[in-house]
Amino acid sequence: MDGDTGATVAAHDIARLANVGRAAVSNWRRRFPDFPEPVGGSSASPLYSLAEVEAWLTRHGKPFTLLPGDRVWQQVRGAVDDLTLGNLVGAIGAFLVFLRREPDGWKRLAGEPDEVVAERLPELMAPVLPDLPGASTIRLDERWIGIVRRVAEAAEEQGDRELFEFLCDRYLQVHSRRYAAVTPAPLAGLMVELADVRGAVVLDPACGIGTLLMAAHAAGAARLGGQELDLVSAQLAAARTLLHDTVVRVVAGDSLRADAFAGELADVVLCDPPFNDRSWGYDELVSDPRWTHGLPPRGEPELAWAQHCLARVRPGGWVLLMMPASVANRRAGRRIRGNLLRTGALRAVISLPGGTTGTVPPDLWILRRPESTDVPPSRILLVDATADLSVAGEAWRSFLATGPNGDGRGGKLAPSSRAVRVIDLLDDEVDLSPARQLHTVGTDPRTGELEPIRLELLSSLAALPGMLPELAVRGRAEMSTSTTVGELVRAGVVAVHQAPLRTTVDEGELPLLTAQDVLVGRPPSGRTTNVPGMVTVEAGDVVVPVALREPVARVVTEGGSVLGPQLLLFRVDQERMDPHFLAGLFRAFQHQAAGVRSASLLARTDIRRTPVPRLSLAEQRRYGEAFRRLVAFADTIRSAASLAETLICLSFNGLADGSIQPSSTAD
């Protein structure tokens, strides 16, 4: 364990290493007097010596998995603060590429003292890494050399690619807010699939840490190019791709103000640009030749990125560009949107699924740089893939196959997509929003669902009276003495669990319960992969979203799924606590908090402060049954309201477009 003396771990790291929940680590701290004492951090987030934790786990016979990357990462976290963390991770990436290219150079240097290695290693690395941005400016602190030596050892055990991906993943977790807009892997996969990048030269002018470049490499791209404003991110992107022996050139710099690929043309441009960046360079770039479809307004930076990408692709080449949904209908950009349609540059707009944060889902624009002989297509594809991402690929392939230039004639597209005439969109608004156009062009495809919806609504309304529990009003009465959920957790009556930080929600084979599932009361809709520390949901568990937008707490009726992010799971000892009773108290506490605080403060409510009356188990079950029926009543009311809204909308639209008519009995 030499070299690990400075490595520290937080409680969540210990939980991940030992493949247990965080509550188990808290329990160990209370139960075992020999549990390691904190060596740093704060009282709220203590840090422990990795060596001491490893020894304690071994001494108590608790199995744990410690990858070589874990040792490296804990040394890294103990060596620098968050502000300089990126510099160290970037330097590690550069060293790993150097190690791959010049292993003998490192072997000759490795035996020297740390101060000599710190001085000479950057000099050896710079000429070997001409394709890594900032390689000539990398400087190594003498205190980092122990980490460098550990990295070399770990690369042999774990593999340099796997090791660096592991470190990048940990780095992103630390700076999750800064890198909140990293393109999700399923969307990156969709973009390279739609563009068909096999054998292509691919450029990403806002490459971030290289997510799209990595996806393009995996899909068979022949050569890659990327530019990124942030030097650390550019170094990470370059190192990730270079470790795969990819032909790649990544440059640090501002693509709009200082285009590093001016004069070069790619076969495909993939881009997920920064959204809503008002300082994109409007004043300096007013007369820029890239604005062939119009000068982007100051408040429309995304349309500047769209034209920049078109300027960097060859005639006939494709551009796939992530866009905020509002770009499709903002008034300031209607002239440029109209010109993109008239020239045939814009071929499709696809609405994508949102995440679990409640933000508005983005759109994916597909553009093609027209060739001089092209006749602009008469139609554009609009797709609503918010409910199912797989619809996008199917709709795009069908669109391309239905006629010359993919004009949509002579073929049939899925109900969630439509080939819309360009001329119908060239009005005063030039609104390209798929959600709006798919429901205003022609007959609403849901019209045939009118009668089933009506019958379901009537059935829901008929069931309501029998669902409401009978409650006797007895005036103001004091409950028995109470405790809190937090005290019950400390007493072992309730255990609290959360999902591991690395839990994904949109890929894998395991069913995953999401925060949105809990909010609307539906079965698990997410998918995830097996990671250390994951929590399997059991029947009787109580789940509550961490970020509360409205009062909600639910009792799981069927176990087997995996707990998703942004959820708290409370597992009760059902010999002492009724789960429906606890869920009802959570809802009551949330309602009270929402009543005395602003809505913005509801999310800050500490659910562990919920008061719990001291009642017998039989009394708990009596109250729990009333709470359960209230939840069922509320869910049915919400469902009936949604059905009624849909029924009203379909009825108005159908009567207006003639697809339905009043019954003869109404005469």
pLDDT at 152: 95
- Is 90 exceeded by the pLDDT of residue 663? no
Q: Give the global pTM.
A: 0.65
Percent of the chain with pLDDT over 90: 54
CB contact at 8 A, 197 and 227: no
Q: Which domains does the chain have, with CATH numbers?
A: 8-174 (no CATH), 186-438 (3.40.50.150), 481-614 (3.90.220.20)
- Would you give the distance in Å from CA 615 to the centre of its chain? 42
What is the band of 444 on the pLDDT scale with cuts at 50, 70, 90?
A: low
DSSP secondary-structure letter at 113? -
pLDDT at 228: 96
Closest CA to 458 of 631, 661, 640, 639: 640
What is the band of 438 on the pLDDT scale with cuts at 50, 70, 90?
A: confident
In sequence order, the 6+-apart residues with CB closer than 8 A to the CB of 423 are: 378
pLDDT at 24: 84
Lowest mean pLDDT, pick from 35-44, 281-290, 334-343, 572-581: 35-44
Alpha-carbon distances, residue 362 vs 270, 350, 351, 549 (angstroms): 15, 9, 6, 21
Secondary structure of residue 603 in the 3-state scheme: coil
- Is 50 exceeded by the pLDDT of residue 324? yes
Summarize the confidence of residues 597-603 as an average pLDDT: 46
Question: Virtual CA dihedral for 39, 40, 43, 47, nearest 10 degrees?
Answer: -80
Lowest mean pLDDT, pick from 210-214, 314-318, 352-356: 352-356
pLDDT at 74: 82
Q: What pLDDT, in 10s, does the model give residues 363-377?
A: 999 999 999 888 899
Secondary structure of residue 261 in the 3-state scheme: coil
Alpha-carbon distances, residue 568 vs 511, 515, 518, 544, 563 (angstroms): 17, 10, 11, 5, 9
- Would you give the distance in Å from CA 161 to the centre of its chain? 23
Q: Which residue has the higher pLDDT, 602 or 471?
A: 471
- Would you give the distance in Å from CA 529 to the centre of its chain? 15
Query: Quick one: tokens of 449?
Result: 């669902």
What are φ and ψ of residue 214, in 5° steps? -65, -40
Closest CA to 538 of 494, 570, 499, 578: 570
In single-letter form, the type of residue at position 363 comes to D
The CB-side HSE value for 465 (13 A sphere, CA atoms) comes to 2
CB contact at 8 A, 200 and 221: yes
DSSP secondary-structure letter at 509? S
Q: What pLDDT, in 10s, does the model give residues 84-109?
A: 899 999 999 999 999 999 999 999 99
What is the band of 356 on the pLDDT scale with cuts at 50, 70, 90?
A: very low
Q: What pLDDT, in 10s, does the model give residues 135-157?
A: 999 999 999 999 999 999 999 98
- Is 60 exceeded by the pLDDT of residue 619? yes
The residue written with tokens 């176990």 in the block is: 559
Alpha-carbon distances, residue 589 vs 315, 473, 498, 609 (angstroms): 61, 20, 21, 9
